[in-house]
Structure 1
């Protein structure tokens, strides 16, 4: 027997229009991802629980008073058809670029922090904030155990703690003006992991650990790795290994806020503007393909050397800090305000660690210091210099490189080449470099 005709003539379009009024539930469609978003409890969230389908049923049910009419509208086909119509209504449509676009607004579970002022306010639908920290900020920096942890990890270096506070405050924004990354370096058991876990835990949706292969060269980077960076403000990678190399092309793109092209699993390629800051930790630093001014400008190395004796290790430190997340978030917000007033800058400990890092990484500089006489009156045949360079690389346990690559290094370092008569023969030489007898 056929279902009785709907005498109210309630159409799917009528319900979709009613849904767009948002009287009880505000919703938007992100066309870039195909996901419906709902505004609930002060936050925009992906509708994973069917809130919109339920709302469509509620709207239809409220307008159908005759029980005989209900089967024709209170069913999955009617709901799905209504949702399909809504997908094509401009009032619902957004794209990924519409969401989380104000770099100085930070979503929290019950409101929004204006990072320009540090003020906490009620969330507003039109801000289109789809992410949230894990906690609301406390009114004060009530985080004594966290501060004690920083004191120990930095040897009570207040200048370094100030740098870290500004860095983490900057990290909480979507601003990319500093074009920096921080590498936490040092032996295990010194707090690197504790710090990163705490910040990941506090920043919630804004942060995640990314596969090491995203930032460290180890085979090819899968484009879905890069897709993980979309919308993040903080991306962490941990436990770099001896012999690995920085994936400097990707690092330069991310820190420079250059557009990245990526692909979601089983999805199409898309391009997005990164807004995530990178913080990487490890016991041994990956190698640089080239040590140049661009690398030195982007990297800030924070060396953490303090180690807790095994019999004094606090096995509950992560949980202790978790209880202080609201106070730590306020500390981070205050760091953001300090960063806006002072800039990130640097400090003696960071400068010393960064200089030491690049001095160790700069093989050419080490070769010049240990094997070469650098003087404007010196000249040497390129073949002799290359023979010395290969011996240095072998002694350092490094892979050899071609004479052509070596010549490019010398040119980039400012040592010109020309042809001179040596022992009656035309010989390609480098000026300003000599070899000991």
Structure 2
């Protein structure tokens, strides 16, 4: 029987010709994506390889076209070779950064939503959306959910509106607020119900992370911890242990908008720009070692202190019936946030300020043991020794003199040196030193 002889390369070209409209290969993370009618869905079951094997099997049996039977093609090694050629075909291969380019487009099972306007749009391959909410939005008022919000906020409309803006902001891929949200309070006050409900509605846009990802530990976190966060718009976590401290440099990295290097297990590193917002709930607020301006800008402490008289144990499941309407409420929050941004209401600002006051050991040390005035020149060593004693009394580690110098300079106390005093700081001195000199 006459006919052409197929090669791995020719089989790959044929497969790409037949399938390139619906398949893309991400060279950055080495994953296939398939268009499913609403978004480009990551192929987690090796469906692409199965389709390639079926194409090869047809060629091996001489089915289709003018090929002759080639039984030798029916080998696993051939399938791997053909897949490799498919992965570099210009019609299918893409860079990792092509996905989800519009931070204000939201994928749903029934099309896209423009979060700037709330308008619904038809799903499109060219939008390169890879994720979807669990349900589509629907009209109507989520009455039980709004009642729950009133109960959780103890009737404070400003906090309720703030939560709507926050959850709307979480729908977007924007991180312009550079914010972390921490809901705290005892049990049965709604904080977990709120976060779980939002995460269930957001579907593939939400993921959970272990609290260890955001708290201090002796060793660096494995880069696969971060790889899981790529593409998410909401990262939820729960804090249940008292006395842990934030991994402050990591928090700033994850909320700062800069690119992050990560990798999946046994794969090469890739870079991504975080799109996610951190929303953490807990009974205890982790400790801060340094309270600087960057930290003050990022943290938003949301108190959940009101416990309803008769907590509904089945509330989360009851709210599931209103998920489409709750999503519409969140979309409206996104639209309003896009217009106005986030402004902390009084209750949130007060709770956040109180948290910083409690965590600001340096500020407490300055208030209790130092004076600040023009002309003050505190010697470096006595100041550090006083600081060391103070933090030890509070069960903390004092750190190094260099770190101490950096935080003092951030507070505006310039480090200097002269022959009389040696190293000293301008504008600050110990109370005891001033009293002796007087």
TM-score, shorter chain, exceeding 0.5: yes
- Equivalent residues of 1:170, 1:335 under 8 A apart: yes
Task: Determine the C-alpha separation between the residues in 2 that align with 1:128 and 1:427.
Answer: 62
Distance verdict in 2 for CA 1:57–1:353, change over 3 Å: same
1:399 paired residue among 397, 400, 405:
397
Cα offset for 1:325?
A: 1.1
1:32 paired residue among 28, 33, 55:
28
Structure 1 residue ranges without an equivalent (≥5): none
2:323 aligns with 325
1:43 paired residue among 35, 39, 42:
39
Task: Determine the C-alpha separation between the residues in 2 that align with 1:190 and 1:291.
Answer: 28
- Secondary structure, counterpart of 1:216 in structure 2: coil
- Secondary structure, counterpart of 1:229 in structure 2: coil
Q: Deviations over 1:43-72 (max 9, x none)?
A: 322332626744874795999379x96775
Cα offset for 1:189?
A: 2.4
2:111 aligns with 111
**Backbone CA RMSD of aligned residues:** 3.3
Distance verdict in 2 for CA 1:131–1:403, change over 3 Å: closer
Cα offset for 1:76?
A: 6.2
- Secondary structure, counterpart of 1:275 in structure 2: coil
1:177 aligns with 176
2:346 paired residue among 348, 352, 357:
348
In the alignment, structure 1 residue 87 sits paired with structure 2 residue 87: yes
- Secondary structure, counterpart of 1:217 in structure 2: coil
Cα offset for 1:319?
A: 0.7
Task: Determine the C-alpha separation between the residues in 2 that align with 1:249 and 1:426.
Answer: 34
Q: Deviations over 1:216-271 (max 9, x none)?
A: 11232111111111111111221153222211222112211111111211111222
Number of aligned residues? 427
Q: Deviations over 1:14-47 (max 9, x none)?
A: 7655544558972122222322222123232233
Q: Deviations over 1:275-306 (max 9, x none)?
A: 11111122221122211111101111111111
Distance verdict in 2 for CA 1:106–1:405, change over 3 Å: closer
Distance verdict in 2 for CA 1:81–1:294, change over 3 Å: closer
Distance verdict in 2 for CA 1:65–1:290, change over 3 Å: closer
**How do residues 282-321 of structure 1 correspond to structure 2 at under 5 angstroms?**
282-309=282-309, 312-321=310-319
Q: Deviations over 1:65-104 (max 9, x none)?
A: 79x9677599566766654442232111112211112111
Distance verdict in 2 for CA 1:289–1:124, change over 3 Å: same
**How do residues 170-209 of structure 1 correspond to structure 2 at under 5 angstroms?**
170-209=169-208
Cα offset for 1:144?
A: 1.4
Deviates most, 332-341 or 50-59:
50-59
- Secondary structure, counterpart of 1:246 in structure 2: coil
Task: Determine the C-alpha separation between the residues in 1 that align with 2:333 and 2:198.
Answer: 13
| TM-score for both structures, normalised by structure 1 | 0.86
**How do residues 9-20 of structure 1 correspond to structure 2 at under 5 angstroms?**
16-17=12-13, 19-20=15-16
